[in-house]
Amino acid sequence: MQDVLTGHEIPAGDGARDTASGQSRIELRHVSKGFGEAWEREQIIQDLSFDITPGDLTALLGPSGCGKSTIVNMVAGYERPDSGEILLNGKRVTGPGKDRMVVFQETALMPWQTAYQNIVFGPKLRGDLRGAELDKEAKRLLDRVGLGDFKDKYPIQLSGGMQRRAELARALINKPRLLIMDEPFRGLDAMSRPLMQEFFLRLFEESRRTNLFVTSEIEEAIFLADRLVVLSNRPAQVRTVIDIKLPRPRDFKMMSSPEAFAYKREALEILHEEALKSFGGDQQAKYEDASLRQAS
Amino acid sequence: MADTISTNEVPLAVQTRAPAMRRRSRLEKTLSSPSFWRGLSALVVFAIVWEIGARSKLWFGIEVPFFGKLPAPTEVLGAAVHVVDKPGYWASWYQSIRRVLTGFILAQILGIPFGLALAVNKYFRDFFFAPFEILRPIPPLAWVPAALIFWPTNEMSIAFVTFLGAFFTIVINVLGDARSIDVRYLRAAQSMGASQWDLFSKVILPGTMPSIFTGAAIGMGITWNVVLAAEMISGGGSGSSGGLGFFIWNSYMGGSLEQIIVGMISIGIAGFLSSAAIRKLGEYVMPWRRLF
């Protein structure tokens, strides 16, 4: 197989040497979360339950501001649910850990480290991979994401797409059981976004590492996902789960198939309803008010 | 075109001599840069206008009040040539630099950890932030009389006042920046297994480095201000141990206008050199910032 970005031959599978990939199940059970003091408390997530199934890419799709990032923060362990629980292979999540790596919105590469230093940061910190072995693995991943020639560049010297790829490599070297991507391609330009989607798709299909992919773009979600969890407006609840049965390996041509359109219509209808709910009531009232005034 | 290609493909054997080549090309670069010549011509024009004004007491036919007594730049240059020969002048330089460095370095050594502690520890902040904020608005020079009474020697009073000038600046800079470090850096590090100490030493500290240097640059400017004023007020000891501030004061007492201006320009040069040194050090310590 050839890499879409670099044109290089892709080295032997990521998953082959990584036993953790493709076997982890995350369960969210009746999770609720709110912010603020009691008298002005805003409920962000209300009794949310869904599964992230092993070896699948579960896309989380919802209107912006519906609490997707809060879900990411709870699954990653940065925040705790007020009630309910999150289980990783049956074990309760209580804090951040290297078994769940997050690729953040925009870039969260440390600006004072080169691409290489960013990538070896985790293993070096823990000491679980060191010396020549670590160097070899870091270089393999850098090559894999097409940044072999850029290893000594600082994040600011890399383009947006390169930064995302470096961040992917930084997450993957920790061999997470779950890779969490929080709108990772947001902010990329129209040229590099589809390239990154395709690149990431190849990477995923090759390792089938369990993935939670948060996005507010329907096309992106359908193109990448095995399962599509569509969320409601705030407080976030699951509206529906759509199984995307487009064959793998996928390519952009499949997006114009009737199946893809059907998925898209189904997701769109729900999102549209949610969008109407969020400002429809308000807008409707104003409209009626204005027409009444005109009539009188 | 052929030229550019050949410089890009310098053979390895030639590249080993790179340092010597780079230094020369850097001077050439400076000499060929329009910014350099613009800056230089501004200085020359300034000197010429000053010279004309000082000699004719009129600027293009208009008398400018108060400026009449200013010596011409050529006279200042003459005084400078005269003064540069005397060991006393260089002793003044040495004294002022020594005082600035003492106060400045002390301020960094105490200020950086203090600012970081305020930033990362809530209890520390609760206890120390209020007194810090009350002391901070007091101008360093307001401390001079109290310092002269409190500290046993003049030298210690000057060092103390200089220290204060840089201390508050560095603390407030470090505190602000360390508190506003992007939470995603901290979270990413946490996911990768960072301990509290790792978060501090590997994320907060390097993340605060730019503001440490900003604080240092501003603090350096303030220490020069403060040292000079403190030297004038305290008399700065006697004779050659007076420093540049006392050099100016002494010239004033002796009625040598040219020498006052030599002293002033000396301070300008000293300040310029110190901030250049801090900038260089910053570039060296933070290679990622050189790219901005």
pLDDT of chain A along its 296 residues, tens only? Answer: 455 555 544 444 444 445 556 678 899 999 999 988 877 888 889 899 999 988 899 999 988 778 888 999 999 999 999 999 999 988 899 899 888 999 988 888 999 999 999 999 999 998 888 888 899 999 999 998 888 899 899 999 998 889 999 999 999 899 899 999 999 988 888 888 898 999 999 989 888 899 999 998 899 999 999 999 999 888 888 988 999 888 888 888 888 899 889 999 999 888 888 878 776 555 555 555 555 555 54
Which of B184, B190, B286 is the closest to A104 by Cβ? B184
pLDDT of the residue at A43: 86
Distance CA B258, CA B220 (A): 27
What is the percentage of chain B residues whose pLDDT exceeds 90? 31
pLDDT of residue B60: 66
Q: Enumerate the β-bridge partners of residue B62.
A: B59
Give B292's contacts in chain A (Cβ within 8 Å): 156
What pLDDT score was predicted for residue B104? 93
Contacts of A112 in chain B (CB under 8 A): 206-207, 209, 286, 288
Q: In the predicted model, what is the mean pLDDT of residues B120-128?
A: 92
What is the predicted pLDDT for the residue at A39? Answer: 77
Residue pair B79/B262 in contact by the 8 Å Cβ criterion: yes
Is pTM, for the whole model, over 0.95?
A: no
Q: Which CATH number fits domain B76-289: 1.10.10.410, 2.30.110.10, 3.40.50.720, 1.10.3720.10?
A: 1.10.3720.10
Report pLDDT for B248.
Answer: 87
Residue-wise pLDDT for B160-181, tens only, equals: 999 998 999 999 999 988 888 8
Q: Is the Cβ of A101 closer than 8 Å to some Cβ of chain B?
A: yes
Contact indicator for A167, A108 with CB cutoff of 8 Å = yes
What's the pLDDT score for residue B2? 39
Number of CB pairs, chain A paired with chain B, less than 8 A apart = 65
Are B206 and A154 in contact (CB < 8 Å)?
Answer: no
- pLDDT for residue A17: 46
Tell me which residues of chain A, numbers 208 to 237, contact chain B at a CB-CB cutoff of 8 Å: none
The bridge status of strand B58-59 relative to strand A238-243 is unpaired
Q: Quote the mean pLDDT of chain B.
A: 82
B32-48: average pLDDT: 89
Can you tell me the distance from the alpha carbon of A141 to that of B117, in angstroms, rounded to the nearest whole number?
38
State how far Cα B55 lies from the chain centre.
34
Q: Could you tell me which chain B residue has the CA closest to the CA of A155?
A: B288
Interface of A with B in 138-197 (CB under 8 A): 154-157, 170, 174
Looking at residue B244, its pLDDT comes to 85
Predicted local confidence at residue B178, as pLDDT? 87
**What ipTM was reported for this prediction?**
0.83
Which architecture, in CATH terms, is A15-99+176-295?
3-Layer(aba) Sandwich (3.40)
Give per-residue pLDDT as tens, A135-171. Answer: 999 999 999 888 889 989 999 999 888 999 999 999 9
For chain B positions 209-248, those within 8 Å of chain A (CB to CB) are 209
> B66 falls in which pLDDT band (50, 70, 90)?
low
Would you call A112 and B191 a contact, using CB atoms and an 8 Å cutoff? no
> Quick one: pLDDT at residue B191?
92
Q: Is A121 on the interface with B (CB under 8 A)?
A: yes
Residue A108 with chain B: CB contacts under 8 Å? 182, 184-185, 187-188
Q: Are A108 and B287 an interchain contact pair (Cβ–Cβ within 8 Å)?
A: no
Displacement of CA A109 from its chain's centroid (Å): 17
Determine the 3-state secondary structure of A211 from DSSP: strand
Q: Where do the domains of chain B lie?
A: 2-70, 76-289
pLDDT of residue A11: 47
What is the C-alpha to C-alpha distance for residues B184 and A110, in angstroms, rounded to an integer?
9
To the nearest whole angstrom, how far is the Cα of A97 from the nearest Cα of chain B? 5
Weakest mean pLDDT among A176-190, B75-89, B135-149, B230-244? B230-244
pLDDT band at residue B68 under the 50/70/90 scheme? low
B95 with B230: CB under 8 angstroms? no
